[in-house]
Amino acid sequence: MRMLNKSLFSLMLCAGLSVPAYAEFKQAPLPYKSDALEPAIDQKTMEIHFAKHHKAYVDNLNAQIKSYPELDKLSIEQVQAQISKYNSAVRNNGGGHFNHAFFWESLAPTNKTGKVSTKLLKQINQDFGSFEAFQDKFNQAATGRFGSGWVWLILNDAGQLEIVSTPNQDNPLMDIVEKKGQPLLGLDVWEHAYYLKYQNRRADYTKAFWSVVNWNTVNQRYDAAIK
């Protein structure tokens, strides 16, 4: 079994993902009840999103182990890092599994969200000008994403915070994306993530998202990424 560096190990824990060895990929339970994010994210959406959409990504990814036996020896992060080696089913479903596990851990009930750390806030102010400017840029990326995809706050290879958008189930860990980095926060802007409650009002969904961001987890990811 290949050893993982401390930063990657920490990111895996923060994403709600198990640590190797792997026989197949597992879907961890939600870290809160399905109604815990009301009213920002409604219970029905959470139930369908987790038990149907995310589960399908995990099941479909595991089905690819027959074609790529080495997958059962890799972490989900390692799969992303060499995604160009695999077919579109691994790319879409492997990305879908990582992204959703990461997303669930990025959220928390409003009384458990915590606050952005002093250290992270300092770099947000440095790289974006202010926390409000950071939020505005993130919101613009979310509403401006054409079709389905994700919006991310990453720490890039230059050590700077950056907001990036990826199509479909791509993410900044993949070796095929234009802008790579360690993801700190992600927002799912596929319609299945919000349509039952918000219909076509993605801007309202994005605004509500900020009330359930798990800053405790984001802070931990940032600390792990800068080490």
Annotated binding-site residues for Mn(2+) read 49, 100, 188, 192
First-residue to last-residue Cα distance in the chain: 23
Q: What is the DSSP string of 25-90?
A: ---PPPSS-TTTTTTTS-HHHHHHIIIIIIHHHHHHHHHGGGT-GGGGGS-HHHHHHTGGGS-HHH
Q: What are the backbone dihedrals phi and psi of residue 82, each rounded to the nearest 5 degrees, phi first?
A: -130, 35
The burial of 141, by beta-carbon neighbours within 10 Å (0-12 exposed, 13-18 middle, 19 or more buried), is given as buried
Judge if the upstream peptide bond of residue 29 is cis by omega within 30 degrees of 0: no
Tell me the C-alpha distance between 19 and 17, whole Å.
7
Binding-site sequence positions:
49, 100, 188, 192
Q: How many CB atoms lie within 10 A of CB 88?
A: 9
Residue count of the chain: 227
What counts of helices (H) and strands (E) characterise the chain?
Answer: 10, 3
